[in-house]
Amino acid sequence: TKWVYSFGDGKAEGGSKDKNLLGGKGANLAEMSNLGIPVPAGFTISTEVCTYYYENKETYPSDLKDQVTAAMAGVEKIMSAKFGATDGPLLLVSVRSGARASMPGMMDTVLNLGLNDVTVQNLVKLTGNERFAYDSYRRFIQMYSDVVLGVGKHEFEILIDHYKEKVNKVYDVDMTADDWKALIEQYKAEVQKETGKQFPQDPQEQLYGAIGAVFGSWMNKRAITYRKLNSIPDHWGTAVNVQAMVFGNMGDDSATGVCFSRNPSTGENLFYGEYLVNAQGEDVVAGIRTPQPLSLAEKTAIGSDLPAMEETLPSLYHELVSFRDRLETHYHDMQDMEFTIQKGKLWMLQTRNGKRTAAAALRIAVEMCEEGVIDKAEAVKRVDPAQLDQLLHPMIDPKATKDPLGKGLPASPGAASGQIVFSAEDAEAWAKAGKKVILTRIETSPEDIGGMHVAQGILTTRGGMTSHAAVVARGMGTPCVAGAGELRIDYAAKTITAGNRVLKEGDVITIDGSNGQVLNGEVPKIQPELTGDFGKLMGWVDEIRKLRVRANAETPLDASTARNFGCEGIGLCRTEHMFFDPQRIIHVREMIVATTLEERRAALEKLLPYQRDDFIKLFTIMAGLPVTIRLLDPPLHEFLPHTDADFAEVANAAGKTVADVKAKASQLHEANPMLGHRGCRLGITYPEIYEMQCRAIFQAVADVKMKGETVLPEVMIPLVAVKSEFDRLKKMVDAVAAETMEKTGAKFEYMVGTMIELPRAALIADKIAEGAQFFSFGTNDLTQTTFGLSRDDAGPFLVQYQELGVIPNDPFASLDQEGVGELMKIASERGRKTRPDIKLGICGEHGGDPASVHFCHLIGLNYVSCSPYRVPIARLAAAHAAL
């Protein structure tokens, strides 16, 4: 078997199509090499070796070693240098992980591998630069010890700090060759102490140690967590890239940097990036020094006073721009690239499709489509429905008064307010207690992922646009301000100092990830514009999708929000929400405590005009679009009073004693309300409630119709299990409709249908469809009743279930396609057999979840209905499903 694939010198064994085998990084290194872009030569050990490794008790295939040796010889030939050479040209390598999907910060890279006490002297001879050589060696010991030997970075940092203190130096640049030499001895002693062994001197041993560490890191906790959060399967494995080192730290004609072919934050078609002169590898990403901008345009845009690469290294800058153009044209997508300049020669070290904010994804997709680089379908595919959420996030109200504390880089857009906390653990604890927090750190690292996830926003005082905090926040869609250098954080005291002001843990701040501002207190926010690029893309989305999208809404505000977001009707209007209004609840309660039919009718008469007015408003907003109204669903005791004052008020209004009302309340108590006296069961036992609701609906229909609008009402009967429940209630609805038409003289169309939310209903759907004109899958209840699981009680163990891998995800968030989905399929098929044109929809929370929307498309539903803010997400998800 072929396990090892070489690249370099304008050719490669493989290319970008081989991501599964070579990992993303390896495949793109091969592709760049094939394109003739200068890439240091190297080879990729395939993901199949990782799979083999874990399937065979962490051992390698027997023929791997020979293939590695042969590939290394090839690299030596191209680079005219020898790995481990104690004399003559010396080849050093980096060992880089690379999974199929990029996993930022999760896997570890070792640089400068091949250095030891002897080769370092050769490096001094070859470069004539003693400081450089020993700096490289100490970096290698640091990285290798951390990644491979498990001797924490922290120990080395302490050694450096103590050393600097002792010799009275502050910055790394102040350190001389002798300083590094002295530290190297301390490092080696530390390794000896921690591991009981000498730091490995044999380059081959170093090489295999690093390769093993990369494969090993596939199963480290950070990587596993990241994969879980991003749904990356464990069996994909990682590849290992071994590549000739080039050095960005050989002096002022050397540099290292990161760049994007377009702005990853805004999507603007402007070359964008940062670099550091005389620096190596991850110095830029680690936020150790403030990096310099690449172009003059960018320098102006961010208001940097550091010189741009375009000014200081113009010809290299133009070469870099030409690579950027070629790579973007070649990949038809925005590229995220890494480069290093060694003594005036530009090398590309990585390219990949860049991560971007939703705003950037949208702008890039629309502009690339308009530039003719991609077509509409591709543009639609480029925007992730889950990510779209970010665009629907609030922004700071421009009219709000602001009290600025400082400014950083606009690292991830959107505005967020919250209480400041200073550690990821605190963020998690506070969030658990229901608090909104801003995670405030000098800089973040992969260990902080959990806290970053629960924070409303992330603020750092060090690091650039490509720092860990910025990259991760953009990926999560969390607002982030990075590198706010004028703020000073004191972890011990838990304070931020801004000028002469000191903020304590728990104080509220607002960050604006769109412009980098950090503001004191909670600042009012507004909703974003939905025109421009957004409108254009959503237009293409609507051309593509088959599934219609409706909203769950009952208030005029929700309804008009949903209409602005492009909904095509209301899929669920929960009438009981209209009962809770303070003016009405008293009549609802009077109705509940009524002892005779007359009393109950009298109370319902008072409610009717309120309901009718609500429906008039909804029908008017939704003119021309269908509106599904669900008749009363929850058990009556949900409306009962709680406080003594409430009880007294109800007793008074209903002409009863408080004792009577309390007796009624305890009589209505249920052991298991989810399965109790609710839904159509109420409609059957108290028909006058549903009659009143239908009267209100149809009077509103007549009213709006007579004003010349089109009204398409759909009356929905909840919680049907038995055909006769539906038939009885349908008769009632029809009677009220006929009566209303007669009384008002209006003629109108309407539909009567049911929710499918009990397994029994799904199974007898063919029979129910004899009377029902539509089904709406109430997947919240259907999930509860299929699993026999109460949503309100499942929280604690569902989390554990997911952690243990008993179930892949929360069935209340993403539809359980295997079980609940199967019932939906059965009901759809059986319903259609009886009534081929039956309308089918879904109105549970799942209607706004992209994976569930996809499923609904597959089983041929007519529409999904979701909360107003998720309407655009569902539209986009429906288009993705149709592509």
Q: Which residues form the catalytic set?
A: 468, 843
Selected binder of ligand ADP within 44, 238, 340, 865 (CB under 6 A): 340
Q: What are the φ/ψ torsions at residue 517 (nearest 5 degrees)?
A: -75, 145
Annotated binding-site residue? 96: no
With H, G, I as helix, E, B as strand and everything else as coil, classify residue 700: helix
Annotated binding-site residue? 574: yes
Contact 113, 207 (CB under 8 A): yes
State which residue, 147 or 692, has the beta carbon closest to ligand ADP. 147
Per-residue DSSP letters for 455-497? -SEEEESS--TTSHHHHHHHHHT--EEE--TTEEEETTTTEEE
Annotated binding-site residue? 779: yes
Quote the longest CA-to-CA distance of the chain. 106
* Pattern 109-148, ligand ADP, x by CB under 6 A: x-x-------------------------------------
Closest CA to 316 of 352, 345, 296, 287: 345
By CB under 5 A, the residues from 563 to 622 that bind Mg ion are none
Under the criterion CB under 6 A, does residue 246 sit at the interface with ligand ADP?
yes
Size of site (CB under 6 A) for ligand ADP: 16
DSSP lists the bridge partners of residue 242 as: 43, 95
Q: CB of 529: closest distance to Mg ion in angstroms?
A: 35
Under the criterion CB under 6 A, does residue 446 sit at the interface with ligand ADP?
no
Q: CB of 107: closest distance to ligand ADP in angstroms?
A: 6
With H, G, I as helix, E, B as strand and everything else as coil, classify residue 565: coil
Under the criterion CB under 6 A, does residue 245 sit at the interface with ligand ADP?
yes
| Segment interacting with ligand ADP (CB under 6 A) among 208-216, 239-247, 405-413, 516-524 | 239-247
Residue 245 interacts with, from ligand ADP, Mg ion, none (CB under 5-8 Å by kind):
ligand ADP
What residue has token string 């200073």? 422
DSSP summary character for residue 665? H
Selected binder of ligand ADP within 44, 256, 561, 784 (CB under 6 A): 256
Annotated binding-site residue? 630: yes
Please give the Cα distance from 453 to 194 (Å, whole number): 34
Residue 361 interacts with, from ligand ADP, Mg ion, none (CB under 5-8 Å by kind):
none
Contact 449, 476 (CB under 8 A): no
Residue 144 vs residues 58, 155, 209, 278: alpha-carbon distances, Å: 20, 13, 9, 22
State which residue, 37 or 616, has the beta carbon closest to Mg ion. 37
Please give the Cα distance from 622 to 573 (Å, whole number): 12
Annotated binding-site residue? 778: yes
Contact 363, 268 (CB under 8 A): yes
Calculate the CA dihedral of residues 849, 850, 852, 856 and round it to 10 degrees.
120
Task: Give rounded-to-5 percent helix, strand, coil for the chain.
Answer: 50, 20, 35
Annotated binding-site residue? 227: no
Size of site (CB under 5 A) for Mg ion: 2
Selected binder of ligand ADP within 281, 287, 759, 821 (CB under 6 A): 281
By CB under 6 A, the residues from 58 to 97 that bind ligand ADP are 94, 96
Please give the Cα distance from 860 to 829 (Å, whole number): 10
Residue 256 interacts with, from ligand ADP, Mg ion, none (CB under 5-8 Å by kind):
ligand ADP
Can you read off the two tokens belonging to residue 451?
């806290």
Q: CB of 350: closest distance to Mg ion in angstroms?
A: 5
| Segment interacting with ligand ADP (CB under 6 A) among 127-135, 199-207, 243-251, 774-782 | 243-251
Number of H helices, E strands in the chain: 34, 34
State which residue, 340 or 467, has the beta carbon closest to ligand ADP. 340
Selected binder of Mg ion within 206, 243, 350, 390 (CB under 5 A): 350
Q: CB of 347: closest distance to ligand ADP in angstroms?
A: 7
Residue 6 interacts with, from ligand ADP, Mg ion, none (CB under 5-8 Å by kind):
none
Contact 456, 438 (CB under 8 A): yes
Q: CB of 108: closest distance to ligand ADP in angstroms?
A: 8
Which residues have C-beta within 8 Å of that of residue 293, sequence separation ≥ 6? 273, 274, 299, 302, 304, 306, 308, 309
Q: CB of 241: closest distance to ligand ADP in angstroms?
A: 7
Closest CA to 680 of 752, 738, 784, 769: 752
Selected binder of ligand ADP within 18, 338, 533, 725 (CB under 6 A): 338
| Segment interacting with ligand ADP (CB under 6 A) among 175-183, 195-203, 244-252, 365-373 | 244-252
Cα-Cα-Cα-Cα dihedral sign, residues 598, 599, 604, 605? positive
Under the criterion CB under 5 A, does residue 238 sit at the interface with Mg ion?
no
Please give the Cα distance from 661 to 663 (Å, whole number): 5
Please give the Cα distance from 515 to 411 (Å, whole number): 8
| Binding site feature residues for Mg(2+) | 757, 781
| Binding site feature residues | 574, 630, 757, 778-781
Summarize as ranges the residues that interact with Mg ion (CB under 5 A). 109, 350
Summarize as ranges the residues that interact with ligand ADP (CB under 6 A). 40, 94, 96, 109, 111, 243-246, 256, 281-282, 338, 340, 349-350
